[in-house]
């Protein structure tokens, strides 16, 4: 199921013609780190950023939570820090050191029989645009 959802996500990103290849990397804790490169954004201190999120062990019964943007120092256009974000929280279980900005953004509901990686990614986009 995860692999099928990942392939669907990759297809959707390719259709948008965003730069780079979406990747999914196994983590030592059993989760999968998903990276969507070169996501276009407006109202931030850059015009694009790489978005990372985790499909936790037990996905889809276990829902995704939070996301990260790379590189760090991802700020609003005026230079201020976005609400519910900081540069000090690493991706849990990620063996590779990264410079990211963490967004403490949580789903209000999750149905493992209906929700998907694409839906979660759209939640991330809704958080990033408009910038706040």
What string of DSSP letters covers 18-36? Answer: -SS--EEEE-TTS-EEEEE
Q: Give residue 121's pLDDT band: very low, low, confident or very high (50, 70, 90).
A: very high
Q: Give residue 130's pLDDT band: very low, low, confident or very high (50, 70, 90).
A: very high
Residue 6, both tokens: 């990942």
pLDDT for residue 88 is more than 90: no
- pLDDT the model gives residue 19: 83
Give ∠ CA 132-19-57 in degrees, rounded to 5: 70
pLDDT in tens, 64-85: 999 999 989 999 999 999 999 9
| Beta-carbon contacts of residue 88 (< 8 Å; ≥ 6 apart) | 102
Mean pLDDT, residues 95-104 taken together: 93
- pLDDT the model gives residue 95: 86
Task: Give percent of the chain above pLDDT 90.
Answer: 93
Instruction: Tell me what the pLDDT averaged over the chain comes to.
Output: 95
pLDDT for residue 97 is more than 90: no
pLDDT in tens, 19-50: 889 999 999 999 999 999 999 999 999 999 99
- pLDDT the model gives residue 28: 95
* Cβ proximity of 107 and 123 under 8 Å: yes
């Amino acid at each position: 199921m995860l692999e099928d959802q990942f392939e669907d996500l990759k297809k959707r990103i390719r259709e948008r013609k965003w730069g780079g290849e979406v990747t999914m990397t196994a983590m030592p804790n059993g989760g999968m780190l998903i990276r969507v490169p070169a996501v276009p954004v407006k109202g931030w201190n850059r015009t694009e950023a790489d978005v990372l999120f985790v499909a936790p062990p037990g996905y889809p019964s276990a829902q995704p939570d939070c996301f990260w943007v790379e590189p760090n120092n991802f700020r609003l256009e005026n230079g201020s820090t976005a609400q519910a974000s900081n540069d000090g929280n690493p991706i849990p279980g990620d063996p590779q050191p990264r410079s990211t900005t963490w967004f403490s953004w949580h789903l209000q509901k999750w149905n493992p029989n209906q929700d998907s990686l694409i839906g979660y990614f759209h939640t991330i986009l809704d958080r990033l645009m408009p910038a706040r």
